[in-house]
Amino acid sequence: MTLPTMLDHRLLVVTGKGGVGKSTTAAALALAGARTGRRTALVEVEGRQTFPSLFDTPAWDFEEREVRPGLFGVSIDAEDSLQEYLELFYGAKRLSRFVVGSTAVEFATTAAPGIKDVLLIGKVKEMERRRDADGRFTYDLIVLDAPPTGRIVGFLSAPEATVELVNMGPIRQQARSVVDMITDQARTLAVPVTVLEDLPVTETLEGAAALRELGVALGPVVVNRVLPTRLDAAAQARLQDGLTPQAIARRATDAGAPLEAQGAEALLAQAEAEAARVALQVELRERLRADLDAPLLELPEHYAESFGPAEISALAGTIEELVR
Amino acid sequence: MSAIGGDPLARWRDGDLSEVVAQASIIVCTGAGGVGKTTLAATLALGAAARGRKTVVLTIDPARRLAQSLGLTAMTEEASPVPGVEGLDAMMLDMKRTFDALVDRHAPEPERAERIKSNRFYQQLTSSLAGTQEYMAMEKLYELHERGDYDCIVIDTPPTRSALDFLDAPKRLTDFLEGRFLRLFLGTGMRASKQVGRAVGWGSGIFMRAASRITGAGVLEDLGEFFQSFEGMYEGFKARASEVYRLLASPGSAFVVVASPEPPALREARYFLHRLEQDGMPTAGLVVNRLTPPPPPSLAALTTQQAREAAASLADGDDDDRAVAALLRLHADRAELTVRERRAVAAALQGTTPRRVVEVPRLRPEVHDVEALREVGTHVHGTADADAAAEV
**CA distance, residue A136 to nearest chain B CA (Å):** 30
Q: Which of A182-191, B85-94, B376-385 has the lowest mean pLDDT?
A: B376-385
pLDDT at B132: 66
What's the N-to-C CA distance of chain B in angstroms? 15
Residue of higher predicted confidence among B70 and B20: B20
Q: Which residues in A lie closer than 8 A to residue B181 (C-beta atoms)?
A: 102-104, 106-107
Compute the CA torsion angle B213, B217, B221, B222 (nearest 10 deg).
-110
Helices (H), chain A: 22-35, 51-55, 78-90, 93-100, 104-106, 115-129, 149-165, 170-183, 198-214, 233-240, 245-254, 261-291, 309-323
| Residue of chain B nearest A279, judged by CA positions | B365
Residue B117: is its pLDDT beyond 90?
no
For A165, residues 6+ apart whose C-beta sits below 8 A from its C-beta are A112, A113, B120, B124, B219
Residue B111: predicted pLDDT: 86
ipTM confidence score: 0.80
Nearest to A192 by CA among A221, A224, A214, A226: A221
Q: Would strands B80-81 and B88-92 be described as parallel, antiparallel, or unpaired?
A: antiparallel
Q: Rounded to whole angstroms, how far apart are CA atoms A285 and A282?
A: 5
Q: Do A270 and B334 touch (CB under 8 A)?
A: yes
Mutant choice from B183, B214, B308, B362 vs A, greatest count of A C-beta within 10 A: B214
The answer to whether residue B322 neighbours chain A at the CB level (below 8 Å) is yes
Angstroms from A5 CA to nearest CA on chain B: 30
Q: What's the alpha-carbon Rg for chain A, to the nearest Å?
A: 24
Q: What is the average pLDDT across B81-96? A: 86
pLDDT at residue A47, as a whole number: 79
pLDDT of residue A178: 87
Would an 8 Å CB–CB cutoff place B314 in contact with chain A? yes
Neighbours of B381 (CB within 10 A): 24
Q: Is the pLDDT of residue B197 over 60?
A: no
Best of A54, A160, A259 to substitute, by most chain B Cβ atoms within 10 angstroms, is A259
How many other β-carbons are positioned within 10 Å of the β-carbon of residue B209?
12
Judge contact between B131 and B169, C-beta under 8 A: yes
Give tens-digit pLDDT for B234-260.
Answer: 677 777 778 888 898 999 999 999 999
pLDDT tops 60 at residue B173: no
Identify all chain A residues contacting B260, using CB atoms and an 8 Å cutoff. 19
Residue predicted with more confidence, A236 or B196: A236
Query: pLDDT value at position A124?
Result: 94
**Number of residues assigned to chain B:** 392
The rounded distance, in Å, linking the Cα atoms of B48 and B50 is 5
pLDDT at position B329:
94
Q: Across the 324 residues of chain A, what is the mean pLDDT of every consecutive 10-residue run?
A: 87 91 95 97 88 94 96 89 70 52 51 68 92 95 92 82 66 81 95 92 92 93 92 82 90 93 93 89 94 92 82 95 89
Residue of chain A with shortest Cα separation from B211:
A108
B211 near A CB under 8 A: yes
Query: Strand pairing partners for A144?
Result: A13, A43
Instruction: Give the pLDDT confidence of B45-78 residue by residue, as tens digits.
Output: 999 999 999 999 988 766 666 777 787 776 566 7
- Kindly report whether the peptide bond that precedes residue B365 is cis, defined as omega within 30 degrees of 0: yes
Nearest alpha carbon to residue A167 among B209, B220, B228: B220
Give bridge partners of residue A75 from the DSSP assignment: A44
Q: Do B35 and A170 touch (CB under 8 A)?
A: no
pLDDT for B224 beyond 80: no
pLDDT value of residue A19? 81
Domains of chain B: 2-297+338-390 (3.40.50.300), 298-337 (no CATH)
Q: Hey, what amino acid is at A144?
A: L
List CB contacts (< 8 A) between A272 and chain B: 392
Compare CB distances from B215 to A112, A150, A238 and report the shortest one's residue: A112
d(CA B135, CA B132): 5
**How much is the pTM?**
0.80
Could A268 and B327 be called an inter-chain contact, meaning their C-beta atoms sit closer than 8 Å?
A: yes
Q: How far is B63 from chain A (nearest CA, A)?
A: 7
- What is the pLDDT, as a whole number, of residue B189? 37
Q: Would you call B213 and A168 a contact, using CB atoms and an 8 Å cutoff?
A: no
Is A103–B34 a contact, with Cβ atoms under 8 angstroms apart? Answer: no
Count contacts between A and B (CB, < 8 Å). Answer: 228
| Nearest by CB: B296 against A112, A266, A277 | A266
Q: Which of B63, B206, B301 sits opposite A199 (nearest CB)?
A: B63
Q: What is the pLDDT of residues B8-19, one digit of tens each?
A: 777 767 778 999
- Confidence at B191, pLDDT banded by 50, 70, 90: very low
Between B223, B265, B333, which is nearest A19 by CB?
A: B265
Q: Which residues of A touch B307 (CB under 8 A)?
A: 257
Closest residue, chain B, to A167 (C-alpha): B216
Strands B26-31 and B55-59: unpaired
8 A C-beta contact, residue B8 and residue B342? yes
Nearest to A110 by CA among A101, A98, A119: A119
- Whether chain A has a CB inside 8 Å of the CB on B365: the answer is yes
Residue B72's pLDDT is 77
Rounded to whole angstroms, the Cα distance separating A221 from A192 reads 5
Q: How confident is the model over B325-336, as pLDDT tens digits?
A: 999 999 999 999
Contact yes or no for A269 and B32 at CB 8 A: no
B96 forms beta bridges with none
Selected residues 122-161 of chain B with any CB under 8 Å from a CB in chain A: 124-125, 128-130, 159, 161
Answer for the pair B57, B67: CB distance below 8 angstroms, yes or no.
no
Of A167, A255, A267, the CB nearest to B218: A167
Spatial neighbors of A180 by CB under 8 A, at least 6 apart, are none
SS3 B102: helix
What single-letter amino acid sits at B334? R
Q: Does the distance separating the beta carbons of B32 and A104 come in below 8 Å?
A: no
**Three-state DSSP class for B1?**
coil
- How far is B224 from B219, CA to CA, in rounded Å? 9
pLDDT value of position B383: 64
Instruction: Tell if the CB–CB gap between A274 and B214 is shorter than 8 Å.
Output: no
Residue B93 has a pLDDT of: 80
The three-class DSSP label of residue B105 is: helix
